[in-house]
Amino acid sequence: MVAIVTGAVLVDETVLADEAVLADEAVPADVAVLAHEAVMVDRAVVVDRGVVVDEAVTGDRGHLRQRRLLSDDVFRALRDAVLEGVLEPGERLRDDELVRWLGVSRTPIRNALDRLRSAGLVDLAANRWTRVRDPDCSTLGGSASVVAALHRAAAVIAFPRLDDPAVDVVAAGLRSARPVVRRGAAGPASIEVLRCVAVAVGGVAALAPVGVLAASFAEAELRLAHELRSRRCVVDLSAWDDFDASAGRALAARDGGAWGDAVGQLLHRVAATGR
Q: DSSP string covering 45-70, please? A: -EEETTEEE-S---S-HHHHHHHHHH
What number is the average pLDDT over the span 4-22? 36
Range of the domain at 82: 1-30+72-275
pLDDT, position 164: 93
Tell me, yes or no, whether 43 lies in a domain: no
Q: What is the pLDDT of residue 62?
A: 53
In a domain, 81, yes or no: yes
pLDDT digits (tens, 9 = 90+) for 105-131: 999 999 999 999 999 999 988 778 999
pLDDT of residue 167: 93
pLDDT in the model for residue 69? 64
Predicted local distance difference test score (pLDDT) of residue 201: 93
The answer to whether residue 35 sits within a structural domain is: no
Contact by Cβ (8 Å): 92, 129: yes
Question: Tens digits of per-residue pLDDT, 144-157?
Answer: 999 999 999 999 99
The Cα–Cα gap between 209 and 217 comes to 13
Q: Provide the CA 55 distance to its chain's centre, in angstroms.
A: 32
pLDDT at 49: 27
Question: What is the model's pLDDT at position 209?
Answer: 76
- pTM of structure: 0.73
User: In whole angstroms, what separates CA 127 from the centre of its chain?
Assistant: 28
Q: Report percent pLDDT > 90 for the chain.
A: 62
* Under 8 Å between Cβ of 232 and 58: no
Averaged pLDDT, 58-70: 53
Number of domains in the chain: 1
Instruction: Please list, in sequence order, all residues whose beta carbon lies within 8 angstroms of the beta carbon of residue 273, skipping any fewer than 6 positions away.
Output: 233, 234, 236
* Dihedral sign of CA atoms 138, 144, 145, 146 in order: positive
Higher pLDDT, 75 or 70: 75
Question: What confidence tens digit (pLDDT) does each residue in 126-145 have?
Answer: 778 999 999 989 999 999 99
For residue range 236-255, list pLDDT tens digits in order: 999 999 999 999 999 999 99
Distance CA 97, CA 115 (A): 19
pLDDT of residue 6: 36
CA–CA distance from 7 to each of 13, 20, 39 (Å)? Answer: 8, 4, 32
Cβ-count burial of 23 within 10 angstroms (0-12 exposed, 13-18 middle, 19+ buried)? buried
pLDDT band at 88 (very low <50, low <70, confident <90, very high): very high
pLDDT at 233 over 80: yes
In a domain, 39, yes or no: no
Within-domain flag for 57:
no
pLDDT of residue 244: 96
Q: What is the DSSP string of 97-150?
A: HHHHHHT--HHHHHHHHHHHHHTTSEEEETTTEEEE----GGGHHHHHHHHHHH
Per residue in 177-213, pLDDT tens?
999 999 998 899 998 999 999 999 999 988 887 676 7
C-alpha span between 199 and 26 (Å, rounded): 9
At residue 14, φ and ψ (nearest 5 deg) are: -130, -140
Q: What is the mean pLDDT of the chain?
A: 78
In a domain, 156, yes or no: yes
